[in-house]
Amino acid sequence: MAAIDPLEVPPFQLQPLLGRIHPPVGDLLDLGQSREAPAPSPVASSPLDIFARVSNSAIGKAPAKPPPPVQVVVRCVQALGRDIYVGNSDGTLLRYSLREQGSSRDEDSYHVTARQVLASRKPIDQIALVPSVAKLLVFSGK
């Protein structure tokens, strides 16, 4: 067998795995459940929001400005098997799963299968996977 010059063989290959980081999806509580994303539910406004908008327009007040959008930053990432878990600065934990082999070449290799938002909305500092019990631990609140 002929020796291969190490300069001819790249040590690794870069490939984009995750295209979109923040689409809405289901729950992350059980790592061993189905990998299909649930159907998105329509967003409903509370009756108080509707009342405030109607009353302000009736008395000629301009509606309150919405808060400026917050830039979400990926803080940590862990992988286990066919899944990648991404912790964000807005307290959102996303689960991406590897697409099946029959997927189109134009699609991303991974797709979002679950989304969980921490009640505190604090940035996720670290993710610890515990495969023996099919759970993950999230550390936040520094």
pLDDT at site 52: 62
Average pLDDT over residues 9-14: 57
- Residue whose C-alpha is closest to residue 112's, from 26, 30, 41, 39: 26
Kindly report, residue by residue over 98-131, the tens digit of the pLDDT: 887 755 665 678 888 999 999 888 999 999 999 8
Which pair of tokens denotes residue 102? 């029959």
Instruction: Tell me if residue 107 falls in helix, strand or coil.
Output: coil
User: Cβ atoms within 10 A of the Cβ of 9, count?
Assistant: 7
Residue 93, C-beta contacts closer than 8 angstroms, at least 6 positions apart = 28, 85, 86, 87, 115, 116, 117, 118, 124, 127, 138
pLDDT at site 111: 86
Distance CA 140, CA 120 (A): 9
pLDDT at site 66: 76
Instruction: Tell me if residue 135 falls in helix, strand or coil.
Output: strand
User: Cβ atoms within 10 A of the Cβ of 22, count?
Assistant: 13
